[in-house]
């Protein structure tokens, strides 16, 4: 069984008891549909006197009851289909979102945001149809088989005629699933590529406008449209061919049954009511629309599962079982090497010791590995070689809770998570102390309902957003890492935040990536990176004597 098929079964199970309930309701409706032609045939025979009965009205309550069952089960089936699909889709979306956030950021970055959104919104919705589609796939065989049995009981020659027609239909449909699967998979891939490029362009809209490259960017975004059109046309072409073949064969099959039944009626082997039932059974069993629709839904569900398993197949980040011992937040990088996808070293055998409670400034020219060192220090990225220890414990051995309680990150462009300011900053804790330290408390106090203001209702500048992200990062108990997190602050605010970071009362280890001379001057240690290697470590005043070091800040 392929991963896509296993995910398909998981989606069916996620629908819960709605799947068996839907199966029972659908089978009840199909049973009523199969019984109705026989009952109508009996009523016709009673009306023309071909059957010993008191009259056709004796069968009318039975006919009415069967029609009522068909109507009620149809309504229940439609409702159950929607509920089962909603439950399965919700389960798959939660699974995919949790997996994406559990990935190493390096692996997650391989999937563009727009493409992930396309998979999450579109393809997972197709996969969520697994439960009702599976029920349809099981019950779709019942009408042909039931019709075959009924026709054989009416007259064996009718059964043989029907079998011959079904064989021809099967031959005509043998390539439908393969052709439709390829077309749907290509369509979904092109759709994801288009969505990914669109999201990238929207994120950089100001840059595109400033560079005057909008026309070129539009062409790049719309490049997959030709493939999208080709696969879409191919999908409809496959469906049209299947429908056309069914439109030809199904009436011919019904005509064949009518002809054979007419000969049997003339020979006295059939009654008029049995001929009517035979015609209805032929129409019911040879109806291709339901079969093609079910196969198409099944193809789309499997294609959606396949697209989801492309992401779910990525290994998630593993955490250990250890908690941090008591300690000051001593940070050690031992022989840390990080390589790019093509094997080029981005950090090359970095050895670094940051005493507990120290303030470390990370400086270096653009592309020297500053942000990468910050990412490795708090396990946003695992090194390819070497290890990172916090108070003597390798970071991968820490539990998820221990790591994220001890380490906090502040970024240049933070994403605020939560419905309100309180949730975005505090995450269950009192947000006021860290908001004061980040110099954002006064701003929050001016909001309509202060910390309980909805984030969506807060109009903020880049600096204010950065300070809210900084306040969230300051919840860290032992290690605070700021990656250019002060870049959007004005001079006065940067000074206030800097005072909070360098305060003697703050016993956390702090790692600050930035280009400001005051930040480096206030640090206990400065690590000077160049080309992914540590060029020097020491106090700012000592390093300042080197002209190359001074040139880092001028650049």
The sign of the CA dihedral 537, 518, 360, 320 is negative
SS3 367: coil
Nearest CA to 331 out of 206, 429, 478, 136 is that of 478
Residue pair 32/142 in contact (Cβ under 8 Å)? The answer is no
Q: CA–CA separation, 148 vs 277, rounded Å?
A: 12
Res 114: pLDDT = 72
Q: What are the angstrom distances between the C-alpha of 56 and each of 48, 101, 336?
A: 9, 67, 90
Q: CA–CA separation, 125 vs 117, rounded Å?
A: 12
Express each pLDDT in 98-132 by its tens digit.
888 888 877 777 777 777 777 777 778 888 888 88
416 Cα distance to chain centroid:
21
**Contacts with 483 (C-beta within 8 Å, 6 or more apart), sequence order:** 370, 371, 374, 375, 409, 410, 411, 412, 513
Res 334: pLDDT = 93
**Contacts with 424 (C-beta within 8 Å, 6 or more apart), sequence order:** 416, 417, 418, 455, 468, 472
| Element spanning 279, H or E | helix 272-286
103 Cα distance to chain centroid:
13
Res 500: pLDDT = 66
Contacts 24+ apart (CB under 8 A), 457-464: 458/421, 461/488, 462/413, 462/488, 463/488, 463/489, 463/490, 463/493, 464/440
Question: What residues are paired with 403 via a beta bridge?
Answer: none
| Element spanning 538, H or E | strand 533-538
Nearest CA to 416 out of 407, 425, 408, 429 is that of 425
What is the β-pairing status of strands 533-538 and 331-339? Answer: unpaired
SS3 349: strand
SS (H, E, C) 426-495: HCCCCCHHHHHHCCCHHHHHCCCCHHHCEHHHCCCCHHHHHHHHHHHHCCCCCEEEEECCCCCCCHHHHH
**Contacts with 371 (C-beta within 8 Å, 6 or more apart), sequence order:** 483, 484, 513
CA angle 220/224/226 to nearest 5° reads: 120
Q: Is 503 exposed, middle or buried, given 0-12, 13-18 or 19+ CB atoms closer than 10 A?
A: exposed
What would you measure as the largest C-alpha separation in the chain, in angstroms?
Answer: 117
248 Cα distance to chain centroid:
41
CA angle 97/100/104 to nearest 5° reads: 155
Res 542: pLDDT = 92
Dihedral Cα 489, 491, 492, 498, nearest 10 deg: 70
Q: What share of the chain is helix, strand, coil (3-state, %, to 5)?
A: 65, 10, 25
Residue ranges of the chain with pLDDT lower than 50? 54
> Which residue is it, tokens 């990914």?
196
Domains of the chain: 3-312 (1.20.1560.10), 331-554 (3.40.50.300)
């Amino acid at each position: 069984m392929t991963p896509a098929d296993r995910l398909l079964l998981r989606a069916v199970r996620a629908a819960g008891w709605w799947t068996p309930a839907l199966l029972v309701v659908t089978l009840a409706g199909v049973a009523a549909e199969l019984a109705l032609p026989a009952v109508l045939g009996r009523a016709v025979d009673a009306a023309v006197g071909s059957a010993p009965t008191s009259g056709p009205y004796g069968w009318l309550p039975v006919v009415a009851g069967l029609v009522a069952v068909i109507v009620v089960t149809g309504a229940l089936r439609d409702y159950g289909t929607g509920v089962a699909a909603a439950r399965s889709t919700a389960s798959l979306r939660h699974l995919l979102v949790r997996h994406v956030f559990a990935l190493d950021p390096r692996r997650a970055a391989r999937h563009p945001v727009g493409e992930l959104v396309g998979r999450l919104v579109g393809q997972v919705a197709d996969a969520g149809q697994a439960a009702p589609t599976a029920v349809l796939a099981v019950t779709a065989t019942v009408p042909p088989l039931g019709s075959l049995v009924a026709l054989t009981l009416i007259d064996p020659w009718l059964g043989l005629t029907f079998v011959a027609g079904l064989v021809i239909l099967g031959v005509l449909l043998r390539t439908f699933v393969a052709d439709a699967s390829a077309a749907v998979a290509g369509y979904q891939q092109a759709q994801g590529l288009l969505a990914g490029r669109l999201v990238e362009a929207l994120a950089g809209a100001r840059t595109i406008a400033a560079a005057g490259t909008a026309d070129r960017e539009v062409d790049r975004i719309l490049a997959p449209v030709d493939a999208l059109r080709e696969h879409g046309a191919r999908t409809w072409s496959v469906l049209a061919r299947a429908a056309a073949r069914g439109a030809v064969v199904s009436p011919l099959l019904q005509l064949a049954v009518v002809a054979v039944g007419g000969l049997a009626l003339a020979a006295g082997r059939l009654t008029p009511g049995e001929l009517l039932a035979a015609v209805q059974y032929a129409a019911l069993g040879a109806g291709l629309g339901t079969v093609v629709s079910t196969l198409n839904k099944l193809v789309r569900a499997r294609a959606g599962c396949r697209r989801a398993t492309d992401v779910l197949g990525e290994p998630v980040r593993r955490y250990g079982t250890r908690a941090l011992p008591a300690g000051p937040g001593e940070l050690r990088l031992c022989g840390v090497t990080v390589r790019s996808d093509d094997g080029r070293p981005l950090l090359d055998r970095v050895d670094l010791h940051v005493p507990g409670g120290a303030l470390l400034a990370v400086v270096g020219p653009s592309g020297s590995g500053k942000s990468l060192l910050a990412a490795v220090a708090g396990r946003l990225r695992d090194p390819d070689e070497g290890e990172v220890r916090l108070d003597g414990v390798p970071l991968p051995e820490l539990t998820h809770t221990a790591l994220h309680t001890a380490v906090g990150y502040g970024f240049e462009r933070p994403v605020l998570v939560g419905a309100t300011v309180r949730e975005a900053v505090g995450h269950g804790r009192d947000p006021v102390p860290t908001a004061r330290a980040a110099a954002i408390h006064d701003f929050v106090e001016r909001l309509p309902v202060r910390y309980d203001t909805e984030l969506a209702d807060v109009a903020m500048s880049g600096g204010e957003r950065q300070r809210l992200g900084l306040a969230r990062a300051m919840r860290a108990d032992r290690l605070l890492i700021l990656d250019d997190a002060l870049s959007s602050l004005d001079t006065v605010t940067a000074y206030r935040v800097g005072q909070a970071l360098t305060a003697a009362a703050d016993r956390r280890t702090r790692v600050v990536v930035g280009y400001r001379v005051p930040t480096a001057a206030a640090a206990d240690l400065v690590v000077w990176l160049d080309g992914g290697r540590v060029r020097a470590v020491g106090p700012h005043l000592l390093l300042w004597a080197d002209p190359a070091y001074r040139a880092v800040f001028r650049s």
